[in-house]
Amino acid sequence: MKRLFARTVCLALLCVAAIGCRSGAATENNMDNAQTTDMSPVRVEVETTEGNFTIELYGDTPKHRDNFVKLASEGYYDGTLFHRIIKDFMVQAGDPDSKTATAGQALGSGGPDYKIDAEIVFPKHFHKRYALAAARQADQVNPMRQSSGSQFYVVTGSKLDTAQVAQMEQRMAMGRLQKVFNELAMNHRDSIRSMQMRGDRAGLKALQDTLVAEAEAKVAGEDAPAMTQEMKDAYTTVGGAPHLDGDYTVFGEVVEGFDTIDRIEKAETDGRDRPKTDIRITGMKVLGK
């Protein structure tokens, strides 16, 4: 696995300087959330044209919890569509542009004029079936993995067998190595940029080898496994989307009305994954803690 990892990062130092420039220059509008010590979960009932379901918003992702409660209380989601559905993966909603969307209109870019700082509590919260998570833009334009101010998805996914779980666990371990390597590389971005400008490939290769060794040593010293037993049990019994773990904020889960999510998932969709017959959120009720 180490040789494979070394090959996957062979070009990383060539792009890390550019990534560093983008992340430093980015101007994201964050939601102005007051600091809170309240770690209580909150339940919200979601009413849809396919039936109702209830979600529990986790207390340890308070920015996402409070934002969702605020929008639900204000009626922000009323009339919005489940605009993106991929069977055996997820159902997505929360785009305000969908309220008045015409048939076939592309959706998925709408939302309030702010993003929410990532609250990735992994491996405690992961992408098991019926997990609630925040949509976001890709890493290339959103290196801090900030969440959309309103769009969310409920995981449906599929079950994995033990061999698939083992394969996914290895892939996640590789992903962890890559993440640590990238963090180390970012600390050397000025040196990397200088070597790039000089065309010092030998220097870049030597630094890369050093950082690979440091990343492998750091990950080897961690106690946490790439995939917990709880995750393995969930992915082999109810299923989910483990390839998203650690990259998106999971901030709740469906606790009632699972059959509604099952019906929504089965909707016939067009080439953009939008349901051919609109599935609409008609209202939300904050039930409390």
pLDDT single digits (tens) 119-177: 999 999 999 999 999 999 998 899 899 999 999 999 999 999 999 999 998 888 888 88
The CA distance from 261 to 39, in Å, is 27
- Please answer whether residues 45 and 287 qualify as being in contact, where contact means their C-beta atoms are separated by less than 8 angstroms: yes
Amino acid at 21: C
Residues with Cβ < 8 Å from 32, sequence gap 6 or more?
Answer: 114
Q: How confident is the model at residue 219 (pLDDT cuts 50, 70, 90)?
A: confident
Q: What is the pLDDT of residue 21?
A: 44
Q: How many CB atoms lie within 10 A of CB 44?
A: 22
Q: How confident is the model at residue 24 (pLDDT cuts 50, 70, 90)?
A: very low
Residues with Cβ < 8 Å from 158, sequence gap 6 or more?
Answer: 88, 89, 239
**What pTM was computed for the model?**
0.81
Q: What is the pLDDT of residue 271?
A: 93
pLDDT at 215 over 70: yes
Q: What is the pLDDT of residue 171?
A: 87
The mean pLDDT of the chain is 88
**pLDDT above 90 coverage of the chain, percent:** 72
pLDDT tens-place string over residues 69-110:
999 999 999 999 999 999 999 999 999 999 999 998 999 999
Q: What is the pLDDT of residue 65?
A: 98
Q: Which of the four CATH numbers 3.20.190.10, 2.40.100.10, 1.10.10.10, 2.40.110.10 does domain 42-158+239-288 have?
A: 2.40.100.10
pLDDT at 13 over 60: no
What residues are paired with 116 via a beta bridge?
147
Enumerate the domain spans of the chain.
2-22+162-220, 42-158+239-288
Q: To 5 degrees, how large is the angle CA 227–CA 9–CA 249? A: 40
Q: How confident is the model at residue 38 (pLDDT cuts 50, 70, 90)?
A: confident
- Token reading at 51: 């039936």
Residue in the structure block whose two tokens are 């996957």 = 8
Q: What is the pLDDT of residue 36?
A: 54
At 72, give phi and psi (nearest 5°): -65, -40
Q: What is the pLDDT of residue 32?
A: 47
Q: What is the pLDDT of residue 159?
A: 96
Mean pLDDT of 249-257: 98
